Structure 1
Amino acid sequence: MPHLSYGDVKAAADRIAGTVRPVTLAETGPGRWLALELMQHTGSFKARGLQNFLQAHREAGTLPDTGVTIASGGNAGLACAWAARQQGVRATVFVPTTAPAVKVAKLRGYGAEVRQTGSEYAEALAACQEFAAAGGALAAHAYDHPLIAAGAGTLLEEIHRQLPGLDTVVVAVGGGGLLAGVATAARQHGVRTVAVEPEHCRAFHAALAEGRPVDVPVDSVAADALGARRATALALAAAREGDVRSVLVPDAAIVRARRELWDDRRLAVEHAAATALAALDAGVGPGHGYRPEPGERVCVVLCGANTDPTDLATAPTGG
């Protein structure tokens, strides 16, 4: 099984220092913080992993003139296009036809060639792999690569630097790149990781139950970012080695958390970002969510902001 080390995360932190925005933390109450990674370049944590990936290939002399290609629900594609523009190479991004229009428009704004294929991420990924094999472009991955996961793990390094007494970090999970990196760094610092998924997008939860990555159906309001059919072996390995809890939340709690972030803090986030916060919702029901112990110090990662905020002006509170 592939393995990610803390040394990989530290190397990524050194490599991308000065090229990504340090995360801002907002205290929301005693022992509670939000990590505002939605303010990252391209609007999500994905900029960390793709910057690490492309810079590492540039340093190794393996970044081809034909450029880079990636399949994405949107956020990884944005990060890839942004990082590729910095490296002076072309990016070709494959997204499902269901990708939000706001993400497709931003992709083109970064200069990427956008190809919409299939209704799910897995179909876009297959088309991307065919394109890379035929034309020689460097194939990046939205989450299933050690350099991508290591870059994502730099987020926890920054959080821990600001909150050295942190007990628990809460992150949303799609394919598991963010989880693998964060859990690897968290283990080094004695921090528990809570992995949160929509109840009908449970690739990581299923992998833990089966002891191996397995395919799952995908059906959630957060599926555009968390809709991976299968979690990575990297995420599963990181979970086995560290203190990782896997929890599920219903879509209603995700919608409610997203709405509350807007109503209470004027933060417009993706449903994927709200998924992490929804885990702390007292109304998610038995067998779901995460209940911190009294005095437990918890930081929730708000991982992305590439959303159409117009529904926040009209959606009823609660969802």
Structure 2
Amino acid sequence: MSVIIGSRKDRTVSGAIAALAGKPTTLTPGAAIAILAEAAATAPDKVAGRRATTALAKVVSDHDEPQVRVAAAKGLGQVQSSTSVRALRKAADHAQDGQLVAAASAGLSNLGVRADVRRLRAASDRAEWPHAGVQAAASARMLAHRVGAAVDPADPAQELPGESAQVLPVTARLKTRIKPVELPVARKAATADLPWRSLVPDGAAAVGAFSCGDRTHVVLAGKDATKLLSAPGIAGTLLGVNESMGTTFVRWVVLTRPDGDGLAVTVTRPTGEVGFVGRGTIVDGVLSVTVDAVDTPGATAAHVTVSLAKGKLEVDGRTEKAITSPRRQPVPVPLQFDASGPGAARVG
């Protein structure tokens, strides 16, 4: 059950702007940001949408609360407008808050142009907070593939098997097959109103679906794979299916770049974390890709081969049933007791 915050009269663009300006309303800052983000994303060319975008940009630049600024930057990341892009660039260039830099970087991977690839790499180099550096680098990688720009040769996330990358080999035991499945929603997925449309290849169509364990993946692919041989690009997108809601979401993005006579392949989350690496070929218009799971905390070993010919998908592979690389465990923080008062304690 969802809870609606604020009265109907305040749940408007004007009400949200007033709430963020510190005027008395029934809205929380979080609810106000959500209202502005929805208005800006759904109608960026209308008066209300432009007002909402301008307000979000002002929040990113001027608001006193860091978390509110971060939320506004995340909202701007889904608004295609010059105002949102300028605000995100300014935050990526000058913000001292690592969370804001990370949010701005993610937004620019969706909205940026070729020149922003260098901007995001610079933001990654400057970042003092490790997560901000990782997110900016991942955003630069994603954007480079989206616009066909050269990738960073020093990016360790793009190391392939046979180099220094560590992949997880599938053993002869505890393995499950990856199987093609029939899924009616696959035919509708290409026209889904995805919030991160830039993660889908141009002219994408649903070419099939497959199951891996208890998860179903719908595969979107572009019509012309041969252009991947000339520049970095997005070869395909794997959608997850929310069965209860009847909706789809981006689970994995297949990035490729020319590599000798074939392709280097990196499969990443929408946020940029690399999950699989491998190689591919295009022969007589047939795209063939083989990838292995990267050794990262919480990963299972997997070896998958995919071929796509004339819009027909074939998938073969196997994966471990159990987690092969253990998840990270939080390091316990000891309590240090303060003898100045009964029961007083502090963390760290």
Give the TM-score of the pair, scaled to structure 2.
0.26
Larger radius of gyration: 2
Structure number with greater CO (CA < 8 Å, separation at least 6) is: 1
Structure with greater proportional strand content: 2
The structure richer in helix per residue is 1
